[in-house]
Structure 1
């Protein structure tokens, strides 16, 4: 017999977090807590981002109530996948993997879970004024990051170009892997012109240059852009496996940015990985403002894959009231420290 309950937490940012959906000061997460008769527990995070998640936030508590009440019914897991467009699935998968294997070995024993090897991640330069972004960019370089991700399309485009020029003129600028994220900000009238201007700065990739709804334009850009295109928001809408394959065949992007907490969990992410690799499309995993519970699940998952790319995982340092964990950032690598403990009583 299993028991389940849930808790929620408003995660407080350490700074004003500028995003494509406005400035954030806090962000809500819910936690599914499953226990067995032996007293073992498993915890999974239900992630929600207003304007990006497909769920209705007001219905999340009742969705969790339903699952907790039906956890011992064989059909409860399958039924839950039909609720709220799979927003609960990431939490369920993580909680049950935790219950079975322990949160150090969610997806098996890896060099990451043993503390031997860290996962390389890029440094995210948060949105702000050009001065703020320049200062944040330099701090990331000082912290030892070898890859940076910078948002474009949010401030004056000429200022963004000057920011990139400043980076490339830095003593370490030439060696930095530079990724851009447009969050769908470009328009048909000037998207290609902007991509050509950005390409002068030797860009690794650009995420979602136009909105998912601009499908024909996106297809054209995937084929003709001087910067390799990565799909991000395009993947959040739930699709059966066959439709996933059709999308990748039709658009033929260079990269996928996988956010398991938003796309329906790890099974869905595994399908994207399988289909992408068959087509020669590279991919990396991205966190999406999860607490350390969700971040650990993402890190454990990607560590179990044969993927040597720089990942888009968080640092664990974003929130002032995050859940204390064995995750630790060293320069540009995220490590799991097995000798450290989780302080999960903060969820009670």
Structure 2
């Protein structure tokens, strides 16, 4: 089994405000597991100030995992408390086990037969901006 990752710096279309700050960019790492001609992909995307791990910790651990991915898959406790990296490895492994089709859990949703009810995301900001988002979500059919 082989592993590698690729880092991307994503740009938000508009600043995204949370209770802990405002983000204009977000760094993500895509983690790839390859075996028998198939590739599983996982995403590692901690938010600074909201996630407990730092970007440096993430990248250091990903580099370590890539030297011996089988060890970390067989010993998940070795991933320590860096949850975003653990998520990336677990989802890449699930994807690989399901044929590398980016389908982690086959379902009516992944077959295109059903949707998934989700909440509408409201970003923090000035009162007018929040109210505008609420009205847009209601018009779009969100119920919560």
Gaps of 5+ in 1: 148-348
| Corresponding position of 1:68 | 66
Given candidates 108, 112, 115, the residue that maps to 1:111 is 108
**Does structure 2 retain, via aligned residues, the 8 Å contact 1:55–1:84?**
no
Report the alpha carbon displacement of residue 104 of structure 1 after superposing the two structures with TM.
4.7
Q: Can you list the C-alpha shifts for 1:178-210, whole angstroms capped at 9, x where unaligned? A: xxxxxxxxxxxxxxxxxxxxxxxxxxxxxxxxx
**Aligned counterparts of 1:125 and 1:54: Cα–Cα separation in 2:** 23
Q: Quote how far apart the aligned CAs of 1:129 are.
A: 0.5
Counterpart CA distance in 2 for 1:138 and 1:93 is 37
| TM-score, normalised with respect to structure 1 | 0.39
Of structures 1 and 2, the one scoring higher in RCO (CA 8 A, sep 6+) is 2
Give the root-mean-square deviation of aligned CA atoms.
Answer: 1.7
Structure 1: how far apart are the matches of 2:134 and 2:101? Answer: 33
Taking the aligned partners of 1:114 and 1:15, their CA distance within structure 2 comes to 33
CA distance in 2, matches of 1:118, 1:24: 29
- Equivalent residue for 2:95? 98
Q: Which of 82, 86, 93 in structure 1 is aligned with 2:78? A: 82
TM-score normalised by structure 2 residue count: 0.89
- Partner residue of 2:133? 136
Per residue, is there more strand in 1 or in 2? 2
1:59 matched to 2:49: no
Q: Which residue is 1:48 aligned to?
A: 46
User: What is the SS of the residue equivalent to 1:67?
Assistant: helix
Unaligned runs of 5+ in 2: none
Contact 2:72 2:79 (C-alpha < 8 Å) held by counterparts: no
Counterpart CA distance in 2 for 1:93 and 1:19 is 27
Q: Which has the larger radius of gyration?
A: 1
Tell me the CA shift for residue 31 of structure 1: 1.3
Post-superposition Cα deviations, 1:123-150, rounded to whole Å, max 9, x if no partner, equal 1111111111111111111212122xxx
